[in-house]
Amino acid sequence: MNVTTFDDWAKANTGAWRDLDGAYGAQCWDLYAAYCTEVLGAPGVGATNTSPTAQYAGYAGSLWTGYPTSTWQGQAFTRIPAGNAARKGDVAIWGRDSAHPDTHVAIVLQDAAPGARITVLAQNAWHTQNARIMTDTPASLGYLRPTNQQPIQGETDMPVKTDPINWDGNNVTVEYALQDLKHRLDNLGQRLGPVKGYQFDYLPAIFNNLNSLFGLVGKIDGQGISDDQLAKLADSLKTNLGAQVAAELAKRLAD
């Protein structure tokens, strides 16, 4: 099986019956072993084995309590303790509790904030052994996070709203930054107003042209715009908006 992205692998294994060791049917560990060998580059199923001596020996929980259970596992994952945010591609591991009497392991499909329920691909969960997408409690032991994130990206991952971000020199959350950005854009839209006799939404045009310009000239965050870049932006606006609308936009932005 040649898998190039995490998303492809997850889709191919939804509803699948993975039994890599030929014992006990499709156990939760088998899905973890398939993930490790088919996506993360484990050299063989043996590198994904549970611990024979740690707490929960022989069960999925020992993947955490016996970490690293192999040299490869220690190199491939970083342990993220319970209570932290889950990330797409993490391996979630539970100890014994009422919902996971024999411990459990599953693969995280979406980012989740600390304490929030997580969306996972899980095998041998509840009344079916086949792998299925489901929500579950946060991992009670913790997460094994792939050291090399590149193979699991698939589509571009979006940050969760509680992630930290530097916004105008202040450390805030993504949610705060997005709210502030929306407020600024609303103010800009009110300032520009409509062109007389012409219904036109400026904001998408501004973004589209700026994105095109930055891609063309290779501008990076924090770098000023040169006269040449401004000229290219003006030409782009004139081409895409029409000379009259572009002139009106430039005039109002200069006021």
Return d(Cα 128, Cα 47) in angstroms, integer: 27
Over residues 156-206, the pLDDT tens digits come to 444 556 667 777 777 777 677 777 766 766 666 666 555 555 455 555 555
Contacts of 118 (CB under 8 A, 6+ apart): 86, 92, 108, 110, 112, 135, 136, 137, 138, 139
Q: Tell whether the model's pLDDT for residue 154 goes beyond 50.
A: no
Question: d(Cα 228, Cα 224) in Å, to the nearest integer?
Answer: 11
Structural domains for the chain: 6-152 (3.90.1720.10), 164-254 (no CATH)
CA 226 remoteness from chain centre? 35
pLDDT at residue 2 is higher than 50? no
- Name the token pair of 36: 């490790």
- Position 147 pLDDT exceeds 70: yes
Judged against a pLDDT cut of 90, whether residue 148 lies above it is answered with no
More confident residue, 51 or 217: 51
**Helix or strand holding residue 167 (H, E):** strand 164-167
Is the entire prediction scored with pTM above 0.85?
no
What is the token pair recorded at 120? 């996972």
The burial class, CB within 10 Å (0-12 / 13-18 / 19+), for 237 is: buried
Confidence of residue 33 (pLDDT cuts 50, 70, 90): very high
How far apart (Å, rounded) are the C-alpha atoms in residues 14 and 6? Answer: 12
